[in-house]
Amino acid sequence: MTEGLFRFIDNSPTAFHAVSNAAEMLEKAGYARITGEEAAGVKPGGRYYTVRNGSALIAFRIPEGEIKGIRIVASHSDSPCFKVKETPEMDVEGRYVKLNAEGYGVMIMSTWLDRPLSIAGRVVVKEDGKLVTRLLNIDRDLCVIPNVAIHFNREINKGFAYNPQVDLLPLYGGGDGEEKEKKNSLKKLCADTLGIEEEQILASDLYLYCREKGRRMGVEGEFIGSPRLDDLQCAYGTLMGFLASEKGKEDRAAAGEYGAVYALFDNEEIGSGTKQGADSTFLSDIIDCICDACGRNGMQKRDILSESFLLSADNAHGVHPNHPEKSDPTNRPYLNGGIVLKFQGSQKYTTDAYSAAVIRDICREQDIPCQNFANRADVPGGSTLGNISSAHVSIPAADIGLAQLAMHSAFETAGEKDTEYLVRLCQGFFR
């Protein structure tokens, strides 16, 4: 399971790649891709998926008989990083070229310095008179954001406020005249990587990504370290559980009268307020599609929603070994401690007594350890997918995650056992 997670993350430097990889896994499992125009052909007993913006995906199964409700798992495809600006190259005294970039999401900025970085994303090109999207990954160590030497900033270990427009721009290449810079432009490099002419590229969404590989750590290999564990660990674990919960006719019968949905949203790290985010109509559109295929509308659709449930999976803060005081006094999740139920009085986490009981019951039946997370009362917390999604689709929901350290670092740490726990939870949830 861990090696599969590492491969998924390594092959998913951006949200676009994560969705492409998820789509490939779904197609191998027999799911058919549909577009808006093809949705009319969706039928009971079918297995389908659809993609929005190239960076969000929803897969679903429809029962063959009468539908009673829908079970949904959701995670997100994006992670904090740096987005390359439209006109990226910046000359430095004719000797260096750096790239103009800006932060995407809230990250631990210092962790991006002095690491091997590269660029990935999507480009839109003109091919045979049509606009076509191409995935791009410059799969080599390309950039670095160099620190200032301690000799020039002797106070850095006492704390430093990074200016993202000054301190966090990546070094891209050496400068030696205008002709060389034009020859080595980022656009030219993208075109060469894709095997196309530079003039074909009309636009792009490009991001820096950390090149570190996933690895086991700890005296017994009990920890894992990797970029983008938040939230690709949950994206991978929930997808594996979704697929594993339907292995044959017996399992389909065990799932009974419930539809199954796997949602991978984009833009959670910047608030989800996009057409491909949780704060959109994407999930409700798919639920409408399922209900239409089953001939259920109006009050019948409301009956289906009343029997449905949303499981929102986004990683949680584990107790820190150097700063245990940062965690709540009694709700203290640990790495390898199993599924984390996330609670918050303000309902930024949507878990309540009913939804918590559902998840704990499944964990008990599947022999999966379960632990709790809550912020200290004097520390404001963030929000995630559950409350945003359930505002559009009014169904019971629980926010869960897997405990990790250094959330929003360029390289994060989690428990080696926990991905398997999530897969098993999702199997039990869908079955």
DSSP assignment of 350-366 equals: ---HHHHHHHHHHHHHH
Q: Determine whether domain 81-210 maps to CATH 2.30.250.10.
A: yes
CA distance 120 to 38: 30
Domain ranges of the chain: 2-79+227-430, 81-210
Q: Angle 397-403-406 (CA atoms, 0-180°, nearest 5)?
A: 120
| Closest residue by Cα to residue 264 from 294, 289, 286, 288 | 286
Pairing state between β 370-373 and 339-342 = parallel
Mean pLDDT, residues 164-176 = 93
What is the residue-averaged pLDDT of the chain? 93
Q: What is the pLDDT of residue 38?
A: 72
How far apart CA 194 and CA 224 sit, in angstroms, is 33
Kindly tell me if the per-residue pLDDT of 116 is higher than 80: yes
Task: Give the pLDDT confidence of 70-106 residue by residue, as tens digits.
Answer: 999 999 999 999 999 999 999 999 999 999 999 999 9
Backbone angles phi, psi at 357, to 5 degrees: -65, -40
Fold of 2-79+227-430: Aminopeptidase (3.40.630)
Mean pLDDT of 140-169: 95
Per the CB < 8 A criterion, the answer to whether 287 and 393 are in contact is yes
Taking Cα atoms as reference points, which of 403, 324, 308, 374 lies closest to residue 74? 308
pTM for this prediction = 0.95
Task: Give the number of other CB atoms < 10 A from CB of residue 334.
Answer: 16
| Confidence grade of residue 182 (pLDDT, cut at 50, 70, 90) | low
pLDDT of amino acid 173: 94
Mean pLDDT of 308-336: 97
Does residue 249 register a pLDDT over 60? Answer: no
Q: What is the pLDDT of residues 223-242, one digit of tens each?
A: 999 999 999 999 999 999 99
In the chain, pLDDT over 90 holds for what percent of residues?
Answer: 84
